[in-house]
Structure 1
Amino acid sequence: MTTQLGGPATRALHAPAAGPPPRPEKYTSVTGQLIKAGLLGLVVAIAVWAAFPLVEHEAWVGLALLVLTTGALLYLYLTPRHIPAKYLAPGTLLLIAFQLFPVLYTATTAFTNFGDGHRGTKQDAIVAIQTASVTQVPGSTQYALSVATTGDPATGPLVFLITDPATKVVSAGDASGLKKLDAADVTVTSAGKVTAADGYTVLTFGQASLRSKEITALAVPVDGGAIRSSGLSRAYEGKAGRAYDERCDCIRDTTSGKVWTADETAGSFVSTDGDRLAQGWKVNVGLSNFTRVVTDPDISGPFLRTLVWNFAFAIGSTGGTFVLGMLIAVALHSPRVRARNLYRVLLVLPYAMPAFAMLLVWRDMFNSDFGLINHVLGTDVDWLGQPMTARLAVLLVQLWLGYPYMFLVTTGALQAIPAELSEASRIDGAGAWQSFRRIVLPLLMVALTPLLISSFAFNFNNFNAIYLTTEGGPFAPDNPANGATDLLITYTYRLAFGGSGAQYGYAAAISIFIFLIVGTVSAIGFRRTRQQEEVYA
């Protein structure tokens, strides 16, 4: 067979070999470059701003990480290469900043005694103890006082502006100490009272009166004592009643001679009779916060009881809302139901309401004296005053608040299941219940199990549902720190911010327990989800 010259075969033989597509002409948008330059400039500005406190506190490791991260970002976005990394970098940094760093910080706090009285260093504790014991003695130096601030007059940090009666030198003092001011930067009356100072806002008498408690509590440390206010216009340099003795590493009362020796393991000054000064310092306590949960009978009992109720609440809330929401969704899935769209809108209304407001409304409805529930039912039940009824009440509230969500997601999952499957089962002789149990429900569980796991994790830490309804109560007379409806999260909150003082280290340890429990349950749940997907794939 002869091929015609110039035909398709000939053109194919003489066609140029296939190669890589031509590179598109590089196009650079001026607007895009300006936005890029602005964002990189913002990154550099934030890095410079963050570097100063790191240098001030000699945090060289943090400074090195800051420099390396900033340099890596500049290199990444100033070079045309590494395109995937350009998209991954912002998300990775946000993950580290908002997920990994808080978790790691909480974990490290759990191994310390950080809390009220144990916040700063040992030197901070010594200064606080000495300044708190300052009293006015005969011959104390008197100063004309002007109260000022470096911020907002109502909330800014307070500063004492005083004039030395002998040298007429003006100084500014706060909790960190006293520093002299340049005479050219201040305006002083003949009586030695400062009326204006560069960088400071002098409070009026009315503004100072509103902050009188803060002014009285402020002590400016100086050698051998501190400067404290005597009213709003005078101050005195008092003598410390308790002084630190470096030779014995102890605090000595200058009047009684009592001695409190430093205990480095507890981060406190302790006397021989066991008396402990309130002000201590932050130290590493190892696993004591974790062992305290298990070994201390005053804590282990309430903790285990709270843990059991926590599981019951999370399982009951998740299971109850799922069953009710699923039953309603299945009932309204039938096309024979008239006005089902209207029903769906009405049923979703609880989900559309602000949860915190509804919780407060339900709390009032459960009131034993004038609550709507007792009034309608004609009962006299102290719903929130007894452990069992209070637990039942919070579960009912959660059922009302949570079923619309399960109703919505189940409705969506039902619409994704082919109707032919149910029709085929009916042809094979299966009834409605058999069809639902063997076909519809397993397919629903494949789609909804991840949502049930996330709902369980949410309810396990559902702070609002408990705190806004019962505040964790009712409380036993012998244990006002742990209530019958407390979850671990509300119990932890009460420990961290309760009236007995914050115990952040211990609260962080309990948070680690919560994290491990929820993480374990979630891992088991997701593993079962994968098994279901493999069976019904």
Structure 2
Amino acid sequence: MTAEGYQLFVGTEEGLEPLAAEGVEVRGNGTIGAAPGYRVLNLLEANQRAQEVQAFAVPVGEEGAAVKPATTSQAFVGQPTISYDEENDVMVTAEGERYVAQDGNFVPEDGQGPVLPAGWTENVGFDNFATIFTDPTFRGGFLKIFLWNLAFPLLSVASTFVLGMLLALLFNDPRLKGKGVYRSLLILPYALPIFVTGLVWAAMFNQQFGLINEVTGLNINWLGDPWAARAALLITNLWLGFPYMFLICTGALQSIPNDVKEAAAVDGAGPVRTLVSVTMPLLLVAVGPLLVASFAFNFNNFTLIYLVTRGGPFDAGNSLVGNTDLLINFAYRLALESGQPNIGLASAVSIVIFMLVGAISYVGFRQSAALEEVN
């Protein structure tokens, strides 16, 4: 096939130049198969150099229009929708809207609307950390979240451990029949994915149609009242977390020698005294580090909060700080869900979270190490 009937051009970074038709072979789909002085890339070569191909543009016409590759054999003529006015340091859209430079972003000149997705890297030093601890509005919300962030894992670990331990003590009694069946049933909440159980519990806490209010005859706005929402999260986490504590306490109790308990009984210790002075210290030696790990996990339990309350309820006029937010949920909202996402500030919050978890875990492991003296 000849090049008759086609307009042939060579594209360079300077623009389009006519290509002589002599010696040019055109395939049936209109693409060039061969041209004197040029080598046509095959599909494999084109894929290997895909980044170079995608970055290549041939300027045509006015106002920055250019030919850009669409596929390995097709291209399109594109024109920028935003241009940069270097003299005035503003971005101008095709509709005439102007965006001025501010804090690493281009924001609307009239102050109305979102920022442009295009920005630049700007060294802010410790300004984001200063914002966390010195800005009155931000500091108040951060402190509120931090206090709940301490209370939530503490209450969660305490409640799940107490319930799991009591059940483990109950099913560790050799006189109880059918323990294997009961134990299998008790670990079901732990076996189910949190993505399922979290949404189910959120539905059950619905004020109008939820199972909780229907069964109890209450009319509590579980997800709309701050304290009720916190209680709902603790109840949900108790359901999800006690099987884990039940498992580790069962294993720890079975590893305690009966000789120790018999010696306590010989010395006149009753069941309660044996539990408090013998069983519990030996149990904590085994489960102490796991309690610390459980605390660290619940300190950043993003999934549960997000599925059940999404951090809410929110106070009027403040859609950034929720009453059930953990710091990790707060950082996520700053980075991705706020009106003006702030990756830098969210990163600073994440670093603070890391330091807090590290410090708390260090103290916890020091305390659990002290329990080794029991042995």
Q: TM-score, normalised by structure 2?
A: 0.77
Tell me the secondary structure at the aligned position of residue 331 of structure 1.
helix
Distance 1:288 1:352, change over 3 A: same
Deviations 1:281-307 (A, max 9, x none): 112211111111112223211111111
| CA deviation vs aligned residue, 1:263-318 (integer Å, no higher than 9, x gap) | 7xx33468999999733211221111111111222321111111111111111111
> 2:319 maps to what in 1?
480
Q: AA paired with 1:536?
A: V
SS in 2 for 1:346: helix
Alignment match, 1:512: 351
Structure 1 gap segments, 5+ residues each:
1-165, 190-196, 201-218
What is the match of residue 104 of structure 2?
267
Residue 9 of structure 2 corresponds to 169
> Cα gap change, 1:274/1:331 in structure 2, threshold over 3 Å: closer, same or farther?
closer
Contact 1:225 1:239 in 2 (8 A): yes
1:184 to 1:315, Cα distance in 2 relative to 1, 3 A: farther
* Residue in 2 that maps onto 1:403: 242
Aligned Cα root-mean-square deviation (Å): 3.9
Query: Displacement, 1:523?
Result: 0.7
Contact 1:472 1:486 survives alignment (8 Å) = yes
TM-score normalised by L of structure 1:
0.55
Q: Distance in 1 between matches of 2:9 and 2:217?
A: 77
- Higher Cα radius of gyration: 1
C-alpha change, 1:169 and 1:463, in structure 2 (3 Å) is same
**Separation of aligned partners in 1, 2:275 and 2:93:** 83
Q: CA deviation at 1:418?
A: 0.8
Relative to structure 1, the CA distance from residue 199 to residue 306 in structure 2 (aligned partners, 3 Å threshold; closer, same or farther) is same
Q: Give the fraction of aligned pairs with identical amino acids, expressed as a percent.
A: 44
What's the counterpart of residue 309 of structure 2?
470
| 2:374 aligned residue | 536
Deviations 1:139-189 (A, max 9, x none): xxxxxxxxxxxxxxxxxxxxxxxxxxx97537699xxx9999997677549
Q: Which residue of 1 aligns with 2:366?
A: 527
Residues paired across the two proteins, number = 335
Within 5 Å, give how 1:86-485 maps onto structure 2. 168-169=8-9, 187-188=29-30, 199=43, 224-226=63-65, 242-245=83-86, 250-251=89-90, 266-268=103-105, 278=116, 279-485=118-324
SS class of match (1:482): coil
**Match of 1:524, as an amino acid?**
V
Question: Equivalents in 1 of 2:18, 2:158: separation in Å?
Answer: 67
Structure 2 distance, partners of 1:178, 1:198, is: 24
The 1:280/1:254 distance shift into structure 2, 3 A limit, reads closer
Contact 2:172 2:253 in 1 (8 A): yes
Counterpart AA for 1:289:
N
Between the aligned partners of 1:522 and 1:455, the Cα distance in structure 2 is 10
Contact 1:252–1:259 (CA<8 Å) still a contact in 2?
A: yes
Alpha-carbon offset, residue 359 of structure 1 = 1.1
Confirm or deny: 8 A CA contact 1:225 1:240 kept in the other structure: no
**1:249 to partner: Cα distance:** 7.5
CA distance in 2, matches of 1:486, 1:238: 44
Matches of 1:434 and 1:180, distance apart in 2 = 96
Shift in Å, 1:512: 0.5
CA distance 1:488–1:170, change in 2 (3 Å) = farther
Q: Tell me which residue corresponds to 1:79.
A: none
